[in-house]
Structure 1
Amino acid sequence: MTRCRLCGSEAMASVVDLGATPPCESFLAADQLDQPEPAYPLHLRVCTDCWLAQIPPLITPEETFTQYAYFSSYSTSWVEHARTFVADSVQRLGLGTDAFVVEVASNDGYLLRHMVDRGIRCLGIEPSVNVGAAARDAGVPTLTKFLDPATGAAVREEHGPANLVVANNVYAHIPDVVGFTQGLRALVADDGWVSIEVQHLLTLIEENQYDTIYHEHFQYYTVAAAIRALASGGLTLVDVELLPTHGGSIRLWARPAEVAGEPTQQVADVLAREKAAGLQELSGYTEFSARVAKVRRDLLRFLIDAAERGETVVGYGAPGKGNTLLNHCGIRPDLLPYTVDRNPYKHGRFTPGTRIPILPPEQIAADKPDYVLVLPWNLRAELVEQLSFVHDWGGRLVFPIPELSIVEVKS
């Protein structure tokens, strides 16, 4: 990578190099196990001019999202998060049945179905054919497209401008951040609102959340970098919320620059926190790589010691972040014989690179392992409750991030 994709600067500094891994959502079918598997460098750098952290665009969104393995509705806490957001945004913006709401990267309709239930006209824009079809089956109008300025203009022409445009967990997934932001501006009414949720680089760095670095996440935002990115498309940040989702996210509230007005005090407060953490200078990034290496050593030491004691460890979940962790640590079925997942799409498949079998969740109760390694650690509260039955045979849960933690659950 020689130039920043946002500002064009060549002043790029290394943050952490995770080697080469396959794309994290490219789960393997059984008949693919004897075929070559492509792997791509996974090296995070930061632009020292605009402070946007980013990886090179070595894969295209079309390769990842045309058929997608992630269905949002399989996470109970995420569905509830969406329901609460809809209720709060309807009240905050005074949205009635005459409003129009667009969600970009709307997945299987997990969020917009709450708009449908309220009688609010809405449209999802979802590039993945399979999950978009699931949304339509659930009664959520969905367009199968990637967002760019032309798509935004076409939707506006056909449906009218949107009072609210929602873009949750997609702003990191697009290599053309300027074109995507221009697409958001094309969709939103001249007096409308844009709400974006994206992981916060501040918590990623502070909490060692390096497994959320993967090829479909092209960039990683501080609020300072997000302000620059939004401005590239004619949008201005007016408010920010700090969220616990995905280990620590930011909800950016933006409006067309012409009507935005002054940002809230919360924006200034978060910018001050980022500056105090050194994220607008190289000092905030220099120790991250060493802390990542310690996470790897601690997890491998635990798995090897458990194996030598004759204890069994299996996985829970097959999220994209888990595949970054498994590949970086070099974990194979000798240390983790299988993982389970609630998503039936993944059953019978294998994790990319590490080729660990993915089974239905019921396998854990059948086998009664000594430990369950929880790969979607960001859902800790939800999964401690879901997996409380592990206590019945004295099993324990293991969380690898932000540091190795072994938890005795209570049934």
Structure 2
Amino acid sequence: MNHSDRCPVCSAAPPERVFALGNVPIICNQLWPDGEAARSAPAGEVDLVICPDCAFMWNRSFDPDRMHYAPGYENALHFSPRFQAYAEDLARGLVERFDLEGRAVIEIGCGDGHMLDLIAAQGVATATGFDPSMAGKDTPYTRRDGVTIVPEYFRSDQLDRPFDAILCRHVLEHLDAPLALMQDIRRAIGDRDVPVYFEVPNAGWMLEAVSMWDVIYEHFGYWTAPAITTLFRRAGFEPTSVTAGYGEQFLMVEARPAPPAPDHLDPGAAAVRKTAAAFGEYARAELDHWRRKLSGLEGRAVIWGAGSKGISFANALGTAGTPLTAMVDLNTRKHGLIVPGVGLPVVPPESLASLRPDLVLISNALYETEITDQVRAMGLSPEIAVVAG
């Protein structure tokens, strides 16, 4: 049996089919400097399956050797006022609950260091992050005393430095061997009582909302609450809190070291399997709906949100996406670049004044109010529709 046919969390086999999507960008958030490069960006297949025992889902067609993060990778969300407020509240809460004032914190997969800066502002003494995508990049978030980014992939032997807590946000979904990472971290903690905080996209919400645009190649794993609880307990962590946040779209886990429970299975897995079984059919119907809507549009359309949801949506439309002329985003680091696959340019909101679209598609309902307000403030009156959420 292939490695991809055995669950990476609990080793159960065989998995059950959930959903398939072809010709998707390998790295959805890798933006390109010109249209030709963007349209010829590497593409792959998604074959989403679910473990019948623990409800972990993964892309059976995932090939880690194809994952090469390069300049142009950009997935920061903190240009949105709503996300900024969420992140600030999260940083404040973690420092308070974990009693981190004056202490040392490690973040695995820190991106540009935004969270490191936020927790340092709350009184953390040192905040050290690891992220290979920051090689050769400058960021304003390391200017605060005590904040450092190591531009490398995290390895457990880097935990030879003092640390009082470990944060890891939106990394587990990229790993094809998540249990190995958790076990390595647990060994490094040893017999100390060091809290950990992990955050991942909430696959439970994805299934219930039929947000097929959250199924992207660069995410190997899709975490539901039962699956991530099983992972943590098997690796030797006791979850003290497993909650959904940020409009239910994130799954947030706080945990403490505990004896490993190598045979643990969460009883909530059965309900997730039932929801997953219906997801594929609903997702196909959703895609057909949007293809019909765009095919019948007389005029121009834009997608607001040049992140994974918006880019996945644009690529899935195929020839029906002809009315699309651009993707809009607040993130200034994306402006002037081109999204992979469909080759649409990313433009700032001010560009809508000249584009004058007939349809604005909002890629994430969380931002509907702020986007609608901006569009109307420009004196524009296009149809506005929400793609996901």
| TM score, norm. by length of structure 2 | 0.87
Question: Does structure 1 retain, via aligned residues, the 8 Å contact 2:116–2:141?
Answer: no
Q: Distance in 1 between matches of 2:72 and 2:240?
A: 35
Contact 1:79 / 1:110 at 8 angstroms: preserved in 2?
Answer: no
Label 1:332 to 1:356 Cα distance change in 2 as closer, same or farther (>3 A).
farther
More divergent stretch after superposition (370-379 vs 57-66): 57-66
1:342 maps to a residue whose letter is: L
1:106 lines up with 2:110 in the alignment:
yes
The alpha-carbon deviation at position 113 of structure 1 amounts to 0.7
SS of residue matched to 2:324? coil
Please give the secondary structure, in 1, of the residue aligned with 2:297: helix
Superposed counterparts of 1:198-209, under 5 Å: 198-209=200-211
User: What aligned pairs does 1:3-402 form with structure 2 within 5 A after superposition?
Assistant: 3-23=6-26, 24-30=28-34, 32-33=36-37, 36-56=40-60, 57-60=62-65, 63-64=68-69, 68-97=73-102, 99-120=103-124, 121-130=126-135, 133-134=138-139, 137-139=142-144, 140-147=147-154, 151-154=155-158, 156-157=159-160, 159-160=161-162, 162-186=163-187, 188=189, 190-245=192-247, 248-258=249-259, 274=268, 278-279=271-272, 281=273, 283-307=274-298, 311-330=299-318, 334-389=322-377, 392-402=379-389
Relative to 1, partners in 2 of residues 1:320 and 1:175: Cα closer, same or farther, differing over 3 Å?
same
C-alpha distance in 2, partners of 1:123/1:34?
A: 33
Structure 2 letter corresponding to 1:400: V
Q: Which amino acid aligns with 2:14?
A: A
Query: Relative contact order (alpha carbons < 8 A, sep ≥ 6): 1 or 2 greater?
Result: 2
Question: Do the aligned partners of 2:234 and 2:260 also contact (CA within 8 Å) in 1?
Answer: no
Q: CA-to-partner distance for each residue in 1:357-388, whole Å, 9 max, x for gaps? A: 22222111233322211124443344334434
2:330 is paired with a residue whose SS is: coil
Q: Which stretches in structure 1 are left out of the alignment for 5+ residues?
A: 261-270, 403-411
Letter in 2 for 1:324: S
SS state at 2:240 partner: strand
- The offset of 1:17, in angstroms, is 0.6
**In structure 2, distance between residues paired with 1:152 and 1:346:** 32
CA–CA distance in 1 between the matches of 2:38 and 2:224? Answer: 41
- Report deviation, 1:35: 7.3
**Cα distance change of structure 1 residues 173 and 116 upon mapping to structure 2, 3 Å threshold:** same
TM-score normalized with structure 1 length: 0.83
Whole-angstrom distance in 2 between the partners of 1:67 and 1:30 = 11
Q: Which amino acid aligns with 1:22?
A: P
Name whichever of 215-224 and 59-68 sits farther off. Answer: 59-68
**What is the percentage of aligned positions where both structures have the same residue?**
22
